[in-house]
Structure 1
Amino acid sequence: MASRRKLLFTTVIIVGTYFLFLGLFEARSFLAPLVTAITLSLLILPITQKLEKRMNRSVACLLSSLLLFLISIGVLALVSFQIRNFADDWPKIKETMKPKIEQVKQFALKHSPLSQEDIDKAEKSSNPSGSSIAQRMASFMSKLSSFVANYLLTFVYIFFLLNYRHVFRNFLIRIFPDERRDKAKDIMVKSSKVVSEYLVGKLILMGLLAILYSIGLGLSGVSNFIIVSLIAALLTLIPYIGNIIGFTMAVAFGFLTSGETSVLIGIALTFTITQFVESYVLQPYVVGDRVDVHPFFVILAVILGNMLWGIIGMVLAIPIMGIITVICLQISELEIIGKLLSKNGFKNSTEDN
């Protein structure tokens, strides 16, 4: 009887988890902007509270939302400017890389089972037909319109979350029985603190990384190195993968444009040294243990976030995992799970193996 109950309980957990993630995936167009708005609201909340001491709450919340909106517009402008420069340099890049691509082809023909026909087929498949281009343009316009709608909706959410935060807070507290309301308040305060401290620390870290990237890429001879450095620093919001994307972007705007090996070496050295400084100097002192999540579960959360919500899911993975860890550690029934997710959960355990 007991074994049957365990089997039933395990089955319910597995099926429930499957449908939970399926629901999160299917509702991504609704949930992703909302969760993003909640995260950004916690980031801007300290500024909003200071503004509320000098003016009406609604006005303070509106100004805070507009501040975030203007910052995001600036980031998008930087990215679009760099993409336009890359498009303008594309003919030059093709001419510069043409002999190097030919060398790669010859090397592949001599040292691999590939034939000239295989290479020709690959080149034909990489050149889309007119109908394929039309389909891609239609898909791009559809995604662009969806992005703009969700983008604007996010800031509407931010305003209402800030302006009516006491209503939502009181509602969440009143859900719990009287004897657990103090614990609920404590969890909400700690969760908010985890997200805001992590994001503030991350912003400071990105500023320092932008300076280091600018110095290294400028000395390496990368064109528009300041903008490239800012974008590479912003990409560190995506754990682990963001650094790879930043390096690839620097190579695209540096080595592919000039074709000089010295530029490629300079870019590689810049990112290697900067990553070392970030991991062993800046990260411990600037961000530190603001989010107490084990690195293994950070990687799993980032991968899962990408599968569910794409890039937004990857950015939100660490704050969400931090909140989940705080909640589990504060609830006695879930404390063992919180210790598993926590970086320091079992550090004081007497068991070594």
Structure 2
Amino acid sequence: MFNSAPSLVKSTSLIVFIFLIISGLYFASQFLIPIAISILLSMLLIPLSNYFEKKGLNRIWASLICIILMISLFGGIIYLVSLQAAGISDNLREIFLRIQQMIIEVQKFLAETVGISTQIQKIWIDKQTNNGTNDAIILAGSFLSYLMGIMIKSILVIVYTFLLLTSRSHLKQFILMLVPKEEVKETERLISDASKVSQNYLSGLGIMVVILWIMYGIGFSIIGVESAIFFAVLCGILEIVPFIGNLTGTGLTILMVISQGGSNSMVLGVFLTYMFIQFVQTYFLEPLVVGAEVNINPLFTILVLVFMEIIWGVPGMIMAIPMLGIVKIICDHVKPLKPYAFLIGKHKKS
């Protein structure tokens, strides 16, 4: 009993340490999320910055050009989406009338099958509307505050990314100073491998999203979906949120098709398009374009997605897989942590 006391103390200390890390990630999320996004973006932009530096530009100008190109890319995507969204807004009145008609049909269905009269349903709806009227101003204020928060965080991400690109050699030297001399080469290889994992995953994900835009655009256009390009771009962008994003994008497309008066065959066509593209994505695009750089088994992929969504929300889900890939690389290079790298990694067929 007494011989097991040291191991018990170590186990307890480890649990407390993990709890403190999780608590820190949760309570400092507003501070840490922009930094984490900036680290991943800077890793993605390092090869481009190195290219400009080889052409004779100093690091500050090379980093600045990388930031401008990144802003232009995201700005172009937002502009494309806004153009397509403007087309939808022109038909909002017609869509709203169709939604009202759908609500009336649902009310009739409930009255005929469940026995809830339309008068009772109207009373319930009126109560909800009256209760929500007083909160309209508060809701609008919260929305504006949310938009301001996004703008501020976006500016922080841009500034952090620029500073990380310009000072990456200094930061790397700092990390190397923390390890013993005999481990410097291994640490350098660790930093290089972790950076490559992020670069390959994020660049591959970007290429896959563009391919999905084309595939969804062709599929939705053939079916006859109104504003097909908008929904193709939406479905492609939402793919960056694993598992949930593709279902959300397709669900919104089906909902809009129904509200626009689309036929059952059109709804079925959207669903079949989704199933076909998911098949192509899973068995062809992801292995060829994204590759096996983030070699994580499905169990831990789902676990880390759920965990990061709890502590960091949607940004956590987007960053979960590349961050876990970096953690696995670290575990691969640190001998005491190799069992954890084996646990996180994919099972090898015997």
TM-score normalised by structure 2 residue count: 0.92
Counterpart Cα distance in 2 of 1:265 and 1:283: 25
The answer to whether the Cα contact below 8 Å between 1:86 and 1:253 also exists between their aligned partners in 2 is: no
The answer to whether structure 1 residue 153 and structure 2 residue 156 are counterparts is yes
Counterpart selection for 2:69 from 63, 67, 83: 67
The answer to whether structure 1 residue 269 and structure 2 residue 267 are counterparts is no
The answer to whether the Cα contact below 8 Å between 1:173 and 1:185 also exists between their aligned partners in 2 is: yes
The answer to whether the Cα contact below 8 Å between 2:208 and 2:290 also exists between their aligned partners in 1 is: yes
The answer to whether the Cα contact below 8 Å between 2:81 and 2:233 also exists between their aligned partners in 1 is: no
The answer to whether structure 1 residue 46 and structure 2 residue 47 are counterparts is yes
User: Cα offset for 1:348?
Assistant: 5.7
The answer to whether the Cα contact below 8 Å between 1:96 and 1:259 also exists between their aligned partners in 2 is: no
Q: Deviations over 1:97-136 (max 9, x none)?
A: 3333333334344555867646742564267633311011
**Counterparts in 2 of 1:277 and 1:19: CA distance versus 1, 3 Å:** same
- Unaligned regions of 5+ residues in structure 1, if any? none
Counterpart Cα distance in 2 of 1:348 and 1:274: 28
* Greater shift in the superposed pair: 159-168 or 241-250: 241-250
Counterpart Cα distance in 2 of 1:121 and 1:18: 45
**Counterparts in 2 of 1:321 and 1:113: CA distance versus 1, 3 Å:** farther
SS of 2:226's equivalent in the other structure is coil
The answer to whether the Cα contact below 8 Å between 2:201 and 2:293 also exists between their aligned partners in 1 is: yes
Q: Deviations over 1:165-210 (max 9, x none)?
A: 1000110111111111111111111100111011111112112111
- Counting only pairs closer than 5 Å after superposition, residues 140-219 of structure 1 correspond to structure 2 as 140-219=143-222
- Unaligned regions of 5+ residues in structure 2, if any? none
Residue 94 (structure 2) aligns with: 92
Counterpart selection for 1:240 from 237, 243, 252: 243
- Counting only pairs closer than 5 Å after superposition, residues 1-353 of structure 1 correspond to structure 2 as 1-54=2-55, 55-112=57-114, 117=120, 120-121=123-124, 124-125=127-128, 129-344=132-347, 347=348
SS of 1:222's equivalent in the other structure is coil
Counterpart Cα distance in 2 of 1:225 and 1:9: 58
Computed over aligned residues only, the root mean square deviation of the Cα atoms, in angstroms, reads 2.1
Counterpart Cα distance in 1 of 2:309 and 2:86: 27
* Counterpart amino acid of residue 147 in structure 2: L
SS of 1:290's equivalent in the other structure is coil
* Counterpart amino acid of residue 305 in structure 1: M
Counterpart Cα distance in 2 of 1:195 and 1:20: 22
TM-score normalised by structure 1 residue count: 0.91
Counterpart Cα distance in 1 of 2:225 and 2:127: 32
* Counterpart amino acid of residue 148 in structure 2: S
Q: Deviations over 1:134-160 (max 9, x none)?
A: 011111111111110110111111111
* Counterpart amino acid of residue 192 in structure 1: S
Counterpart Cα distance in 2 of 1:110 and 1:27: 53
Task: State percent identity of aligned pairs.
Answer: 31
SS of 1:299's equivalent in the other structure is helix
Counterpart Cα distance in 2 of 1:178 and 1:113: 79
User: Cα offset for 1:249?
Assistant: 2.6
Q: Deviations over 1:271-294 (max 9, x none)?
A: 111111111122122222121111
**Counterparts in 2 of 1:137 and 1:128: CA distance versus 1, 3 Å:** farther
Counterpart Cα distance in 2 of 1:249 and 1:179: 55
The answer to whether the Cα contact below 8 Å between 2:107 and 2:121 also exists between their aligned partners in 1 is: no
Counterpart Cα distance in 2 of 1:20 and 1:86: 45
